[in-house]
Amino acid sequence: MPPFDPLRRRLPGGLRAEHALALAALALVGIAEGQRLGPDGQASAALVTSWLLAVAVCAVFLLRRRHPVAVGWFTVVGTGAYYLLSTVDGPLVLVPIAALYGLASSGRLQAAVVLAAVMIIGVGAGALAGTGDVNGTAVFMLAGWLIAVVALGAVWHGRAAFAEEEAVLRTTQERLRIARELHDVVGHSMSMINIQASAALHRLEKDPAQAAEALAAIKTGSREGLRDLRGALGVLRQVDEDAPRAPAAGLERLEELIASSAPTGMAVTVEKSGIDGPLPATVDLAAYRIVQESLTNAAKHSGAHHIVIRLRADSSRLSLSVEDDGRGARPGAVGPGASGIAGMTERARALGGTLTAAPRPAGGFAVRAELPLGGEMVTTERSA
């Protein structure tokens, strides 16, 4: 469905068009009612009253945004009284029709239907009374017009509501995506810094040289974390700002990621097969973040000494696994690392893939993901 501006459910042009409609209707009513003036230019009481009704209806119509239902009733009743007094079939009926459209397009469908029914019944009663001003064909045509106007307003309201709901859904998805990025970037960097800081404090007096190495690793890790954080926040940049100069996160930076984890004492082995060229950007980023979060969880929670990262690609998908020899966790346990696993799962599902994270039978923990190489983001379908 093409983009839709909810403001278009109002009359074209907004307030200016509504003022123009009221003034035009009043002017045309004045021209038509001028024919009822007497030979000496004097106006009868009925003519003056019908003029006042027309002015009141057009003036009250301008207040419909503040009091839409009350204005709708006033325009319908006032227009009906005008036609009872006037012998001229003037254009004043356009005003209550516009009020009906406003009610329906703003979601007040019940009030619009009731007012339309009152108008049809009133005109039909006049036709049955034999006033001579209307007949059955006129009633039928008026009913068709009113039904069409109310239906059109209801359709515009439905489209506006749909567009607003879609906008809220897109905003929510974008916020979740940014939250995942921040969690992955900040979580990994802060975890490495925390581990190195603990090591530096422990070795500061016993082995100053190793403490200095840990502090150097903290400096390097914090610099890389800030760089990644700036990249993740790039979606929030102003349009006129310079593009980020840091390389995008992807499997090409896997060696940097492993190097940042090396000071924790974990040995990391990488096995690749079938990856001959660049992967789709969305798949590349998701795979990198899954590996990053897996390394973070292993360093923080499992006490692993050795980790094996396996990457295998074929013509349709990328298979990824990260296995460690740590303590693992109970299946289905909720605790440290659970939010990271949920974020990895969401990344995989967003690409139409799958991810499992569970203890290995032989000990340790394993994260396995299957990511389609199509790289297209999958949005949640809403039921009708």
Residue 121 confidence (pLDDT)? 83
pTM of the model: 0.46
pLDDT band of 7, cuts 50, 70, 90: very low
Q: Output the 3-class SS for the chain.
A: CCCCCHHHHCCCCCHHHHHHHHHHHHHHHHHHHHHHCCCCCCCCHHHHHHHHHHHHHHHHHCCCCCCHHHHHHHHHHHHHHHHHHCCCCCHHHHHHHHHHHHHHHCCCHHHHHHHHHHHHHHHHHHHHCCCCCCCHHHHHHHHHHHHHHHHHHHHHHHHHHHHHHHHHHHHHHHHHHHHHHHHHHHHHHHHHHHHHHHHHHHHCCCCHHHHHHHHHHHHHHHHHHHHHHHHHHHHHCCCCCCCCCCCCCCHHHHHHHHHHHHHHCCEEEEEEECCCCCCCHHHHHHHHHHHHHHHHHHHHHHCCCEEEEEEEECCCEEEEEEEECCCCCCCCCCCCCHHHHHHHHHHHHHCCCEEEEEECCCCCEEEEEEEECCCCCCCCCCCC
pLDDT digits (tens, 9 = 90+) for 22-72: 787 777 777 766 666 655 556 567 677 877 888 888 888 888 788 888 888
pLDDT band of 354, cuts 50, 70, 90: very high
Residue 311 confidence (pLDDT)? 93
All structural domains of the chain with their residue ranges: 6-167, 249-378
Which has the higher per-residue pLDDT, 24 or 181? Answer: 24
Least confident of 82-96, 97-111, 118-132, 291-305: 118-132
Least confident of 98-102, 125-129, 278-282, 335-339: 335-339
pLDDT digits (tens, 9 = 90+) for 212-249: 777 777 777 777 677 666 666 665 554 444 544 555 67
Average pLDDT over residues 246-257: 76
Query: Domain spanning 249-378: which superfamily?
Result: Histidine kinase-like ATPase, C-terminal domain (3.30.565.10)
